[in-house]
Amino acid sequence: MATFFVCPLCGRQRPVNGWTPFLLGDEVILRDGSGRGRGAGFEYTNERTAQDDPDDLDLEAMARRCLVIVGICLAADVKASDLIDYVPEELIETIVEERAE
């Protein structure tokens, strides 16, 4: 029997033994595409980041969901000090600046 990981952001699932988040980038990628026909896959014509085209995705809703996921991890005894290494320094600077205002 296989164990599957279900993405808490999108609901897609994949086998845990093939789940490799460290191979993924940090950007949220958007692609324009169309189907090639039944069972033939998709053809993508334009790839960009959600940060470059924020109107195509509800980034605020995604950010809220990500914070809930981090909260779940912290409740499961994942140390905050282990997570801080993954936060981009520019983001930390922005948060500090916004709090100072």
Structure-block tokens of residue 66 = 């990500």
- Please write the tens of the pLDDT for every residue from 15-41: 888 777 777 777 788 888 888 888 888
d(CA 63, CA 87): 13
> Residue 11 has what pLDDT?
81
Q: What is the pLDDT of residue 64?
A: 83
Provide the pLDDT for residue 59: 76
pLDDT higher than threshold 80 for residue 8? no
Tell me the domain boundaries of the chain.
58-101
Mind listing the pLDDT tens digit for each residue in 33-86? 888 888 888 888 888 888 777 777 777 788 888 888 888 877 888 777 777 777
- Cα separations (Å) of 90 from 42, 96, 97? 35, 10, 11
**Runs of H (alpha helix) within the chain:** 59-75, 80-83, 89-100
